[in-house]
Structure 1
């Protein structure tokens, strides 16, 4: 018969030794935080879409997705990021997250890079194509309507970027950077970022039938988001500012919303994907110039 001391030793948890399902899960999260984070993001975002819209919701577009579906999709990165921060790092992790969110004294040049890179690339592409081909010209709307569209785009851009970057940059990026270069980190994050957007583009088709629908969706998801994320990682590597990452994300969300709202006649065939491919080419060119200017590397010395 076991003694009282033996029974006490058998039922006492040794520090650091996971026993039971709860501790086993926490141990897995601590050992694989990035994998766990992305699994949680996709479970929340895509699971929310299926819950609200059914399986067919995975093949929607930005125009057909209801507000509730878009809200659940966008909330995934931040909810997962905050939950993982608490589970893995506790209160100290939240404190560090808040510190990076409040870091704004990073130099004017970095604000210029954050605010202007996306709009400059998208704006230059739109202007160049509209001057060369009439089908790329945005539809003209009354000034009052244009002002309302711009205001809505700015508000949407800020909200979306805050919800996404609390997770993407707030949780995943610092952990990936401990193991990978700026380029590799940006590529991993960019490809997963593109895949995460699938429910907003899965239903995109080429009305003319010239291009396979799968190709159209792949271009929208993976052509330009990876190089832009590489630049975002590079900016964060130099500033360590989560606030700046949010401000760098916001302009591209706002600009793409405004252009989509204004629309154009170029909605099928090669013209459907041409702007996105040009964005990608220009962004990769910028990545190359930045690397060349830093002696062939993006990583902060």
Structure 2
């Protein structure tokens, strides 16, 4: 448990009011217009992802005003380099593994309609796109296109890093460490619930859980955020930096499309039960979190040694 005993009530209140208030404000055109079909849906969602970062920056610069503001947000220092690079690599790979693991688990349970051999849903989508584009000539084998998706995920993870940092600077950069005074498990749980509920403006419109009632979608999104937030929290605490968590968030978003790549054509995917969004997809990450807790991997990273001047020792 952290020894941080700075007042929390005011900073936390300001943080939540700004993060949630701005999110709902930006989502207003969706609610007054065509919902998820609004022509500005993507720009609006990208802007919404920045609201936790705005909230954290306001709190750090105008409410708490610590001496080392970048350090308070987990943006600095970028050392020790070896530790940071190692957790960045984990941040890139672990979410992809969890997304992929959810699919055979869901298929084994009977909640994910899988086609791991012919990739029929993906093939159908590719053929529809080619037909719409009027493409002619020889087609690339479907197996090659599936392999390309793995390359796209790596590229997408880094492309998504900037918008993902907009969320992670708030949830794991500022909020999680400030909740550490209540113990790691409580901090992970509360920050995960807050992260999940923050998605309400989109989830209540049917985002991520289009076949579920709005209340169930929000409940499932909150559960998902608690589970995956614990994985991101591990990366934040053990690395001492927000960057691995931000890269993990970007990697997760980039890998989400794998649920279609390996699906069976003509079948509806119930995301409350299947994929990383559904309960069957939480089994492997929960096992990972349990192992991490059992092996003491949620202990915060050791503080970097400092010299007499207070600067990091060389």
TM-score normalised to structure 2 length: 0.69
The 8 Å contact of residues 224 and 280 in structure 1, kept in 2 or not, is answered as yes
Residue number in structure 2 paired with 1:273: 273
How many angstroms apart in 1 are the aligned matches of 2:269 and 2:8? 47
Q: How does 1:195-206 map to 2 (within 5 A)?
A: 195-204=197-206
Cα RMSD of the aligned pairs, angstroms, is: 3.6
SS at match of 1:135: coil
Higher relative contact order (CA 8 A, sep 6+): 2
The 8 Å contact of residues 266 and 272 in structure 1, kept in 2 or not, is answered as no
1:139 maps to 2:139: no
Residue number in structure 2 paired with 1:80: 55
Residue number in structure 1 paired with 2:71: 96
Higher helix share: 1
Kindly state the Cα deviation for residue 109 of structure 1 after the two structures are TM-superposed: 4.5
Residue number in structure 1 paired with 2:188: 186
- Measured against aligned partners, the alpha-carbon deviations of 1:91-139 in whole angstroms (never above 9, x if no partner) come to 7343435773442525255334322221111112224556897833351
Q: Which has the larger radius of gyration?
A: 1
How many angstroms apart in 1 are the aligned matches of 2:49 and 2:248? 17
Q: Per the alignment, do residues 255 and 270 of structure 1 end up closer, same or farther by CA in structure 2, a change over 3 Å counting?
A: closer
How many angstroms apart in 2 are the aligned matches of 1:212 and 1:53? 18
- Measured against aligned partners, the alpha-carbon deviations of 1:267-298 in whole angstroms (never above 9, x if no partner) come to 6475762222122121111111112223xx84
The 8 Å contact of residues 41 and 76 in structure 1, kept in 2 or not, is answered as yes
Kindly state the Cα deviation for residue 170 of structure 1 after the two structures are TM-superposed: 2.4
Residue number in structure 1 paired with 2:132: none
Deviates more, 1:277-286 or 1:146-155: 146-155
Residue number in structure 1 paired with 2:17: 39
SS at match of 2:56: helix
Kindly state the Cα deviation for residue 144 of structure 1 after the two structures are TM-superposed: 6.8
Residue number in structure 2 paired with 1:162: 165
The 8 Å contact of residues 95 and 251 in structure 2, kept in 1 or not, is answered as yes
Q: Per the alignment, do residues 267 and 45 of structure 1 end up closer, same or farther by CA in structure 2, a change over 3 Å counting?
A: farther
- Measured against aligned partners, the alpha-carbon deviations of 1:224-256 in whole angstroms (never above 9, x if no partner) come to 220221232233222211222212222111111
Q: Per the alignment, do residues 81 and 248 of structure 1 end up closer, same or farther by CA in structure 2, a change over 3 Å counting?
A: same
Runs (5+) with no aligned partner, structure 1: 1-28
Kindly state the Cα deviation for residue 176 of structure 1 after the two structures are TM-superposed: 1.2
Q: How does 1:46-57 map to 2 (within 5 A)?
A: 46-50=24-28, 52-55=29-32
The 8 Å contact of residues 194 and 222 in structure 1, kept in 2 or not, is answered as yes
The 8 Å contact of residues 122 and 279 in structure 1, kept in 2 or not, is answered as yes
Kindly state the Cα deviation for residue 196 of structure 1 after the two structures are TM-superposed: 1.2
Runs (5+) with no aligned partner, structure 2: 1-6, 116-120, 127-139, 303-314
SS at match of 2:182: coil
How many angstroms apart in 1 are the aligned matches of 2:269 and 2:165? 34
1:122 maps to 2:125: no
Q: Per the alignment, do residues 278 and 123 of structure 1 end up closer, same or farther by CA in structure 2, a change over 3 Å counting?
A: same
Q: Per the alignment, do residues 267 and 55 of structure 1 end up closer, same or farther by CA in structure 2, a change over 3 Å counting?
A: farther
The 8 Å contact of residues 19 and 55 in structure 2, kept in 1 or not, is answered as yes
